Amino acid sequence: MSNTINGFLFFGAVISLLGYELGIQLKRKFRSPLFNPLLISILVVMGLLSLFNIKYEVYNQSAKYISYLLTPATICLAVPLYRQMEMLKKHSKAIVAGTITGVVTTMATVLLLAVIFGLNHQEYVTFLPKSITTAIAMGISEEMKGFVTITVASIIITGILGNIIAETICKVFHITEPVAVGIAIGSSAHAIGTTKALELGEIEGAMSGLAIATSGLCTVVFASIFANFH
């Protein structure tokens, strides 16, 4: 099957988009955060690939083109951020405090769980950059001699999970200030979470986009400190 599919340049992109569309329809119908379009599209594509015995590389030869615009799209997060500049100035202290809390909490939690599970140093550092954007995290993991592929897997699952649970978590824990919601999502679930924050509102999205950059940069510093702790 892979051989035939190999010739189709649009196969991977089309099944990805159809999966996403299906997710949107299901979400509209059931209104549950579990029917998350991103999650559903990923599961649908995984199912199709397994069912027809198609290799991931064959799928990705076509699907990679939908990821091509990720860098430009991330750059565009500066636009909502610029439009919310007043908010950023007004609550800069809260934003700095929140971002540092996010970075330190990630690492403290990873440290604690690494001790509980008896992970070795290499396994421990693999998880330190798990909450931040993939490109920064890969660099950190590589430099600290972690398992880069596992870091990336953890980051993607973190993002998808954050995207799914963000609305519920904020409701349950009474996080209602749009700025706080945005910083919480961006710090815990990077760009994948940010797409959810943008759905919730312009302020949420702008702040979440900001947190991708700030928590990513903060993690570069803090990860090198936390790497010495275990």
Judged by CB under 8 A, the chain residues 146 through 165 that form the site for another protein are: 147, 149-150, 152-154, 156-162, 165
Contact status: 175 vs another protein (CB under 8 A)? yes
Minimum CB separation from another protein for residue 55, in Å?
Answer: 9
Residue 118 exposed, middle or buried by CB count within 10 Å (0-12, 13-18, 19+)? exposed
Contact status: 51 vs another protein (CB under 8 A)? no
Contact status: 72 vs another protein (CB under 8 A)? yes
Interface with another protein in residues 176-195 (CB under 8 A):
176-177, 179-181, 183-185, 187-189, 191-192, 194-195
Contact status: 143 vs another protein (CB under 8 A)? yes
State the Cα–Cα distance between residues 69 and 185, nearest whole angstrom: 22
Give Dmax over CA atoms of the chain in angstroms. 57
Q: Report whether 210 contacts 178 (CB < 8 A).
A: no
Minimum CB separation from another protein for residue 153, in Å?
Answer: 4
Burial 141-178 (b: 16+ CB within 10 A, else e): beebebbeeebbebbeebbbbbbbbbbebbeeeeeebb
Minimum CB separation from another protein for residue 89, in Å?
Answer: 11
Which two structure tokens, joined as six digits, stand for 62?
A: 């076509």
* Residue among 129, 139, 5 nearest 61 (CA): 5
- How many residues bind another protein, per CB under 8 A? 110
Scanning the structure block, which residue is given the tokens 């999970």? 161
CB nearer to another protein: pick between 143 and 201: 143
Interface with another protein in residues 84-123 (CB under 8 A):
85, 90-91, 93-95, 97-99, 101-102, 105-106, 109-110, 113-114, 117, 119, 123
